[in-house]
Structure 1
């Protein structure tokens, strides 16, 4: 006779809460005619020349495994790109690993670096996967709040309040999901000195680096003394509209990359060769299409932020990524209640700020990776909803 099912399960996983984004979109799945501004995915189709590179590869019979590290050609192209655009030099055959999306890279970094009980400083609000991957690796995530008064930038003062002798790593995620915040070189230099002071590793997730609208992106390993201390993560999903291709990469100290590759080879083996060939084409010939998409996002960004401010939902000016993070405090609703009522009453789907940590309470995340027609319709519906909320409060 079997024991109760829960006795067969890993309690660490059982106690891990499901993604706040996915919980909410279970509600969306049961509602017809929804305008969804929730998913962090470009609305553009992968440019034709990138898809065509995959087709040609298939025609030539490229359907086999690659090296665990990924194809040498792609790693060399990534090294060239990092050196030219972000002024960081990596040895392509030993310091770069191709992963199944940037998300796998985050998981590999946590599992390869953390010992049981070691702490990781995770800025909040931030991407939903950081804290769970720390937990699954046996570490302890420690949230570090950021605030709209600081433009959602991470400060040394906030970090000093959370760091302990057991802290091993700091996560940096700029441009930030969900806030759209960026950090300048002087601000990052202050974080670098903090990392040196406390001898911390830094996981720099720069998946939105190419979606920077004001100023220019500063890659953290380009800061003096940070290259060997930093595990740099990036990919092609956001910059080249390649979410479904699942191609990401890690750059870092060859010893770090070697240990991450061990886990990768026993679990994923390698990223799909077809996706790697498409990524190679994206790096070699994708600049013009990428810039065209970024220009479109920028136009949408200005439109959405302007509309939120006009309707009374004060909105921080996002300088990167493709999200707006307006305050909904004037409605008197919690983040979850706002999103659920907006979906029920107006059939517009956005994500509660609490999906990205408790620091997100009082905010919602809105993706502007959608057509201007959809954004206009959604903003009109949200404005009507906000007006009703305020009338209810007043009555």
Structure 2
């Protein structure tokens, strides 16, 4: 049985190698973020001794956030190029011109290539900033620690963190160069907007290329947004990473649901009772709207019967409510369990 022949691309193009794009995200998440956070926590533990060291390192993390966001723009435009390339295959299947789709691929790849160049420059800036910060922080800490004693930056664990970050910067630069070269190739391939229309591919070739671009898109989709969040976390860690997170997030005391409901009912009953028994302070000053002309008039009899000043001072009208009559004596005390039962039991109107 003859082995299948490899597919020869005539006018369509294979997607870039996905590995350097994925590795950029991996280094940011598993090298930059944890190691910089470890150094931050070590310096913040001695903030009272030397607050200047914490300030210096904060500026270093701020620089990395800015430069790392440039790197993830490369992933963003690689994703855009993959999405645009699927439109080329879609146009072919509908027997439409592919010129606009080819141009969109070219533009996304070109922008991604430029972003890769800027990101490489950014990594150079960050490396210089990190090395300078380590020297300045070490000099600052030496003035507050006894000679020969270990400082937060000279411990074995933190020295290893600095070394891993520096090695990651070197690898990052290589990865960005690979991304740059892949995107530059795509820019060259799509420079001519008629490159696909002038030599239409077979249906088999179109489907194979579409599947490969779809795989590339599925793997890179959303990584740039995740990368932006990683960069933000490097500069401004969330409260979950805060050394006193347990003090910041104080758990609320749990209250049984039945007790909450019962307290709410008592409060509602109290409000109703107060509203019924409360007499107006100045009945003659109550505003109502006149039904005839819509103007506001003073009508005391809408609130309380007209006063006969000859009868003397107005007496309390609380006796109109027999249950509230003070002469009836104190109301019998109802056990708590019974009150709870009366509250929770359903009420039916016959």
Q: Specify the TM-score bucket, using the shorter chain as the normaliser.
A: under 0.3
TM-score, with structure 2 as normaliser: 0.22
Higher relative contact order (CA 8 A, sep 6+): 2
* TM-score, structure 1 as length reference: 0.20
Q: Which structure: greater helix fraction?
A: 2
More strand by share: 1
